[in-house]
Structure 1
Amino acid sequence: MTRSTIVRALALTVTSALATATLAAPAHAHANANSHADAHGRAVSDLPAVTPRAETQVLHDDEAGGNADADDPAIWRNTAAPGRSLVIATAKEGGLRVYDLRARTLQSLSTPPAAGPDDAPGRFNNVDLVHGLRLASVRADLAVVSDRGHDRLRFYRIDRDRVGGPLTDVTDPAAPPVFSKNQDEINGQRTAYGLATWTDPTSGKSFALVSRRERTSITLLELRPTRAGKVTYRTVRTLDLPSTFRLPNGTSWSPCGEPGELPQVEGMVVDPVNGTLYAGQENVGIWRLRADLTGGRPKLIDKVREYGVPGIYDEETEECAPGDDPGYGGSKLSADVEGLTLVTESDGDGHLLASSQGDSTFAAYDRQVKDDNAYEGGFRIAPANSGLDGSEECDGAAALNAPLGPQYPNGLLVVQDGHDVPGEGDRPATNFKFVDLGTVMDALND
């Protein structure tokens, strides 16, 4: 059982306990008794619903489906022809997929082969974009991917009209492991996981921020083009988020997980205007810190509902048995907190969107740091009348607030759907849903 499965089991148990709280409960428990309501007092089921306009072909995480599992998307805007923009998405061991705005598959790329017969295979976890990096005397846009299987970053040049598909691998073969010292450590899979890119407007240098699976580490990598037109990177610095937390009652708490695992980060996004990094520590909450990983302590801007709930890991069942909720968690997010993305506006306003995986909703926060990223509402992605299902247990999300031709004149939100419906028996089925961003903004402004 994966950490995400363990935490979701804990989240469901906490949800049930909260929903059945009685008047005999302690006073502090009542503070969280309405944790399934947003700031406006609406229950999760009453949150405004938006519906998808399109969905990608289903991916199956089994041998028959190529061990393909939808995870994280990025949206590349074709400035010359916005209606011909692209969605680039990871499929874990299934590699990369490239979609047009009708959610049709344009290109599939495999992960690099395993280093040896007993070594971990390639596994593409998260993807983000870098614009205008100089490669061999020309400027190019890149898709940057975290390859968890090999503990490396992979780079793909984007050329919309290239024969054979828009993406070309430009990874330097000598690119080093991000965290591991040798192949044995790589095979242990405490490797490159979450990913966000950032270009420093002062220096013009481009970076990737990469988190480590089953650890609290985030490392800053400077992206470095080579003379051969390839891309590599070097480590600038690393920061570790907390794994243990002091609670108001004076006790210490760590999220429950498998022995030896620490609360990891996956979803991350950088505000390009002010260089602020938002990082989702899956079963803790959302952190705000500087993208260069310097200056000041990170701030936890919101907590998951399960924050502070004690748990005991049962090795026989491979699940966490939660204790009583002390009421120290938040009210907007249910573990895991996953895909983070920004909706930017020309006047500097906008939203930070976060996937609340435990209850299949999304939370929106003010983009403005000066307003302390205040919560501004939530929404669900529900089934459409056309027969498209919604999004459940969303892993990754990407938003672009810019016209994308006649199909998405108000911008686009792409989200992973962890349970595509209808499925095929017991086969795990995932895909990506395309949502008109204008409908999301309308829902948040209601």
Structure 2
Amino acid sequence: MNTMLLLPKRYLLAMLVSLAAVPALAAPAAPKLILKPWSPSQELSLNALAFLPGPSTTERLASAREGLLLLDAQGLELARLEGSYEGLDSRSLGPNVLVASLDGARQQALLVSLDPQKRQWGTPLYLPTRDFPVSGLCLYRDDASNLFVFLVGEEGKGEQWLVGNGEHLSGTAQRVRGLPLPPDAKTCQVQDDTHQLFVNEERVGWWVYPASSEAETVRVPVAMRIPFGDIRQAAGAMAVLPGGLLGLDPEAAQLHLYQQDSEGWASRASLPLPGLKEPESIAVRPTKTGIEVLLRDDDSGRLYQGEVDWQPAPVPVSPVLPSVAAIGQSEPVARQGDAADDPAIWVHPTTPALSRVLGTNKKQGLLSYDLQGKLLQELAVGRLNNVDVRGGFKLGAQTVDLAVASNRDRNSLSLFSIDRTSGQLREVGEIPTPLKEIYGICLFQPHAGELYAFANGKDGRYLQYRLSAPDGVVKGELVRQFSVDSQPEGCVADDRRQRLFLGEEDVGVWAVDARADQPTTLSGVIKVGPQLHADVEGIALYQGADHDYLVVSSQGNDSYLVLDAEPPYAVRGAFRVGLNAAAGIDGASETDGLEVTSVNLGGPWNQGMLVVQDGRKRMPEQAQNFKFVPWTDVAKALGLP
């Protein structure tokens, strides 16, 4: 029953009067833009402007038909690099400034340093001539201080180039990747803190892409043209700040303000630009009270400066993870697409430098590489997914080392002997399983002369087989089985402690007693959450002299988590495998399988080696491969004892 209907009329009237007296919550005031003309002290054909990087500087940068220019706040020329230039972006480079532009005469992108104190330009670094006209470019600095330039070209062509690191510009630029962009894109900008690349599509809207060279190429709209958004005519040049974008509609002479939030992008205001007929260039920087703006009207060539009394709220950024570089990599696999999957490391019993890295190609078979990544063997035995290795297996009268892989063509285990002198692989048998979709595999060797294989399927089932070959023919006896609730894949056995670690892709990592005669009670190691991002993929065990660690592929954020291999499984940290500019090796991402050893393999591997599958091969773009990382660098990055 509505109790208000039972109140006397005089009380109802008093309530209505009091409610009417409460002031309504005021909507936030619309941002305002105040503009005034700004003219350099001499006639110049400027086409792009930028504020000199740095919070307290008043100088401006400009590209013009007369050169690259350093100007003071009144437009007085302070330094000039002769030439004819279009487009402009900049980043701090220690005490200097890195400037990117397009040389109109040579039709090439270039990078050049500027010393603003001495007012001197350096020697330009030119990117190679491209096979498409470059219409725009922008700079990006990643978490590891690598410097990149993005090129925007006709017909949707885009590229990312590595041009420097830290305070240094490289001697040569390296192409990292191509990326598909909108067909009528003309300009781009990058927000470094959030690793976001913004690109315009003139007749559609503004888009945002991941800027990281290892990221998947996906895009999300910031704003669209009417009727799908608030852009009246065209999406032109833009400028970005933490949490915000300011974009020009040159045909409607409007400035659009957008705020990023947890749901995406929201329009904050659309401001008219009185006196401008075709605004084509914009530069911004935050002030204490708002945003300082520089604009250029392409119709008249006039320049304007002003301030918007609004600042976007910065969005939370992910913690910066330490980055380690691979110093070696395997040759790419011989199949395109999602092919390379899981590595294993075979250690030579007498000469560790002759050890091998095995890798599966799930479109071909088993591959064997030396420690420099050279392909030594390929066994085309079918779609192998995961592989593991153990030594000292009795194959009849012979003692061999054994590699076992999950074969998705026949839902079986494929077995390979490894010659203990040469490292040569030979297929020696197959064990069928009742799994409908076999997936992962790992081996368990509790004692000399005893070997087990754990095989899992996409339905969550685990089968434990005792492997033997007393008469030279391999056999597998099913001794135990159990299940997890959803799809598993990676697993690793701790032979010393007789414990199996297994990953459930969307859930986390579990531990279970690996012995065949023990209960199959699962205990939690770590759940998917802030530190471990699904999918949970490869799992490996580093067994050092004093500490044992689990290394887990946290595929959802392209990182690797390290935690103690004993309860309470304390997390030691996470890291990424970043690019190695000096060696020309890209980083690793979208990692499926990985493996690690603590054995001294010599040289840079004196504390062991980590091998990770690279799901996105860059620099140059090729089929997938495996990256080789010194464990010394992992331990240093995470401060491991």
Q: TM-score, normalised by structure 1?
A: 0.70
1:226-245 map, 5 Å = 226-227=470-471, 229-241=472-484, 243=485
Q: Does 1:367 align with 2:565?
A: yes
Q: How does 1:30-69 map to 2 (within 5 A)?
A: 43=319, 46-59=320-333, 61-62=335-336, 69=339
| 2:543 pairs with 1:344 | yes
2:402 aligned partner:
142
Deviation at 1:435, TM superposition (A): 0.5
Give structure 1 stretches of 5+ with no counterpart: 1-7, 14-18, 23-32, 38-42, 112-121, 181-189, 244-262, 305-329
- Structure 1 residues 283 and 20: CA distance shift in structure 2, 3 A: farther
2:612 aligned with 1:415, yes or no? Answer: yes
The residue identity in structure 1 corresponding to 2:429 is T
The corresponding residue for 2:505 is 282
Distance in 2, Cα, partners of 1:127 & 1:160: 18
Cross-structure match for 1:333 = 532
Deviations 1:276-308 (A, max 9, x none): 11111111111111113632621222222xxxx
Question: Paired residue for 2:493?
Answer: 270
User: Post-superposition shift, 1:20?
Assistant: 4.4
SS of equivalent to 1:364: strand
Residue matched to 2:588? 391
Q: Which residue of 2 aligns with 1:178?
A: 433
Structure index of larger Rg: 2
Is the Cα contact below 8 Å between 1:128 and 1:145 reproduced in 2? Answer: yes
Alignment pair present for 1:377 and 2:635: no
Give the equivalent residue in structure 2 for 1:300. Answer: 524
Deviations 1:371-390 (A, max 9, x none): x1111111110001222001
Do residues 167 (structure 1) and 441 (structure 2) align? no
Which residue identity is paired with 1:278? F
Distance in 1 between residues matched to 2:497 and 2:467, nearest whole Å: 20
Q: Which has the higher strand share?
A: 2
**Cα 1:160–1:226 shift into 2, 3 Å:** closer
**2:455 counterpart (191, 210, 218):** 210
Partners of 1:178 and 1:191 within 8 A in 2: no
Rounded to whole Å, the distance in 1 between the matches of 2:438 and 2:551 is 23
Give per-residue Cα distances to partners, 1:192-238, cap 9 Å, x unaligned. 2101100123x84210011112x1111101102141x2312111111
Q: Deviations over 1:25-74 (max 9, x none)?
A: xxxxxxxx98x86xxxxx1xx11110001111122544xxxx78111011
- Aligned twin of 2:444: 198
- Which residue identity is paired with 1:212? G
Partner of 1:309: none
Matches of 1:416 and 1:77, distance apart in 2: 19
Which amino acid in the other structure matches residue 392 of structure 2?
Answer: G
| 2:482/2:520 contact within 8 Å kept | no
Instruction: Identify the structure with the greater helix proportion.
Output: 1
Tell me what 1:220 maps to. 464
Q: Which amino acid aligns with 1:98?
A: S
Tell me how far apart the structure 2 counterparts of residues 70 and 378 of structure 1 sit (CA, whole Å).
23
Partner of 1:435 in structure 2?
629
| Deviates most, 85-94 or 51-60 | 51-60
- Determine if contact 2:394/2:449 at 8 Å carries over to the other structure: no
- Cα distance in 1 between the residues matched to 2:572 and 2:399: 38
One-letter code of the match for 2:378?
Answer: S
Matching residue of 1:357: 555
Percent of aligned positions that are identical:
34
Q: Distance in 1 between matches of 2:537 and 2:261?
A: 26
Question: Is residue 156 of structure 1 aligned with residue 416 of structure 2?
Answer: yes
Using the alignment, how far apart are the partners of 1:279 and 1:139 within structure 2?
Answer: 29
Distance 1:387 1:300, change over 3 A: same
Cα distance, 1:156–1:296 mapped onto 2, change above 3 Å:
closer
Give 1:93 shift: 2.0
- Runs of at least 4 residues off by over 2 Å: 19-22, 59-62, 292-297
Quote how far apart the aligned CAs of 1:131 are. Answer: 1.1
Q: Please tell me the residue identity of whatever aligns with 1:433.
A: K
Identify which range, 51-60 or 380-389, moves more after superposition.
51-60
- Superimposed CA distance per residue, residues 97-131 of structure 1 (whole angstroms, 9 cap, x where no aligned partner): 100000111111101xxxxxxxxxx3100000121
The alignment covers a number of residue pairs equal to: 334
Match for 1:395: what amino acid?
A: D
Contact 2:446/2:496, CA 8 A, preserved across alignment: no
In the aligned structure 2, how far is the partner of 1:193 from the partner of 1:366? 26
Do the aligned residues in 1 keep the contact of 2:454 with 2:465 (CA within 8 Å)? yes
The Cα of 1:160 is off from its aligned counterpart by 5.4
Root-mean-square deviation (CA), in Å?
Answer: 2.6
Specify the code of the residue in structure 2 equivalent to 1:199.
Q
Counterpart AA for 2:502: A
Contact residue 492 and residue 502 of structure 2 kept, 8 A: yes
- 5+ long unaligned stretches in structure 2: 1-214, 221-259, 264-314
| Residue number in structure 1 paired with 2:29 | none
User: What is the Cα deviation at residue 161 of structure 1?
Assistant: 4.9
Residues of 1 paired with 2:351 and 2:338: CA distance?
Answer: 30
- Paired residue type of 1:298: L
Measure, in 2, the Cα distance between the counterparts of 1:55 and 1:126.
19
What letter corresponds to residue 194 of structure 1 in structure 2?
Answer: G
SS in 1 for 2:638: helix
Contact 2:593 2:612 in 1 (8 A): yes
Q: 3-state SS of the aligned residue for 1:83?
A: helix
- Indicate conservation of the 8 Å contact 2:561/2:574, yes or no: yes
CA contact (8 A) 1:68 1:95 kept: no
- The AA in structure 2 aligned to 1:50 is V
Output the amino acid matched with 1:295. P
The separation in 1 between residues aligned to 2:598 and 2:632, in whole angstroms, is 9
Partner of 1:72: 342
Is the 1:220–1:292 contact (alpha carbons within 8 Å) kept by the matching residues of 2? no
The SS at the match of 2:378 is: strand
The Cα of 1:132 is off from its aligned counterpart by: 0.4
Letter aligned with residue 522 of structure 2: P
Distance in 2 (alpha carbons) for counterparts of 1:101 and 1:95: 20
Structure of higher RCO (CA pairs closer than 8 Å, 6+ residues apart): 1
CA distance in 2, matches of 1:390, 1:207: 35
